Amino acid sequence: MNNNIYCIDLGTCNIKVFCKSTGKILNEKNTIAIVNKNQMYAYGDVAYAMYEKAPESIHVTFPIVNGVIADFNNVQTMIFAFLEARAKGKVHGAEYIVAVPTDITEVEKKAFFDLFYKSKVKPKSVLLCEKPIADAAGLGLDVNEPTGVMVVDIGADTTEISVISLGGLVLSDLLHFGGNRLDESIISHIKRTYNLVIGQKTAKSLKETLGSGLPGREESMIIVGRDLVSGLPIELEISAQTVYEAIKDNLSSICNSIKMILEKTPPEVARDIIHAGIYITGGGSLIQGLDELFTQITNIRVNTCESPEETVVRGLIKIISDDKYKRLTFNMKTRLLK
């Protein structure tokens, strides 16, 4: 009998998977390369390496958009190829627990459920868990306690701001922008300022290397782009201040959304948040000085963590392993029958 369990966080940019039989967390790019319209050529980090470099015959896509499944068949093909090749555990008859965003429709949640329930692996069970709840659990917080917690999860396509108490959501706001929007802003700013066209990967590298929530960084980085005037590729040194100017408006939008949620938060819950601080997670939280920016705006301490992009999957491990957290999951099939 197969008692293997998979905890899965299908992010827009990365897929994070915990396999109980191996005890390891796998973290790879949520990317698939397609040839002949429907044949998988590569997936994960290998497919991402082809992004912006592949010929027309190879179509490289991100099948999760804005936190929801945009291409069901490709996601399903990729996830099971990934599990069988990388996780090394049995996928047939296993239990699956999947994190889903909160502010999405029941149909979109059902797509996450069907991804595994309607697959060839005949799972023993498929459970869903709301992402902010798993996020808080992954931070080491007891989400069942009557204590207010605020978690800001900055992902690739979405930023989810949630206030949690007693294992449920008091308030939640899903913003449809995240790290990818910052990359686009860097591309636009450099094109407008230097007449230089750069790719998404270069912009992402600038954000991760030079990005900052506050002005004042003095580092710089040499990049290669295409000059709009001559049409030729050239090298150019970009300063951290340039990157800050490109992303500051987007970061300001996140700050405003956090303030709006805090304004709506009940006073007793707000007291708990002031005492414990705001928690920031997701790959976007790795931007230097972001915690200081949020503290300046809200006057509330901001807590960071190690490997913030993996907190959701760590939370799923905790929820599935501890009986007192089992009630935080739900079965889509049971919910639809009610």
Q: How many CA atoms lie within 13 A of 225 on its CB side?
A: 25
Question: How much is the pLDDT for 236?
Answer: 96
65 CB-contact burial (10 Å; exposed 0-12 / middle 13-18 / buried 19+): middle
Question: How much is the pLDDT for 2?
Answer: 58
Q: Can you list the domains of the chain with their CATH numbers?
A: 5-134+312-337 (3.30.420.40), 140-177+250-309 (3.30.420.40), 179-246 (3.90.640.10)
**pLDDT band, residue 38 (cuts 50/70/90):** confident
Mean pLDDT of 202-218: 96
Contacts of residue 230, defined as CB under 8 A and 6 or more positions apart, other chains included, come to: none
Question: How much is the pLDDT for 180?
Answer: 94
For the stretch 158-187, pLDDT in tens is 999 999 999 999 999 989 889 999 999 999
User: Rounded CA gap, 288 and 267, in Å?
Assistant: 31
User: Rounded CA gap, 193 and 34, in Å?
Assistant: 36
**Taking Cα atoms as reference points, which of 18, 16, 19 lies closest to residue 27?**
16
User: 320: which 2 tokens?
Assistant: 């599935």
Per-residue CA distances from 20 to 96, 327, 336 (Å)? 11, 20, 29
pTM for the model? 0.93
Question: How much is the pLDDT for 337?
Answer: 47
Mean pLDDT of 305-328: 92
Q: How does 82-92 read in b/e, with b if 16+ C-beta sit within 10 Å? A: bbeebbebbbe
Let me know: does 110 contact 332? Beta carbons within 8 Å.
yes
Question: How much is the pLDDT for 335?
Answer: 62
For the stretch 54-106, pLDDT in tens is 999 999 999 999 889 999 999 999 999 999 888 777 889 999 999 999 888 99
Let me know: does 128 contact 39? Beta carbons within 8 Å.
no
State what percent of residues in the chain have pLDDT above 70. Answer: 98
Question: How much is the pLDDT for 247?
Answer: 97
Let me know: does 128 contact 100? Beta carbons within 8 Å.
yes
Query: Is the pLDDT reported for residue 336 higher than 70?
Result: no
User: 97 versus 323: which is more confidently predicted?
Assistant: 97
User: Rounded CA gap, 24 and 87, in Å?
Assistant: 8
User: 94: which 2 tokens?
Assistant: 């296993």
State what percent of residues in the chain have pLDDT above 90. Answer: 83
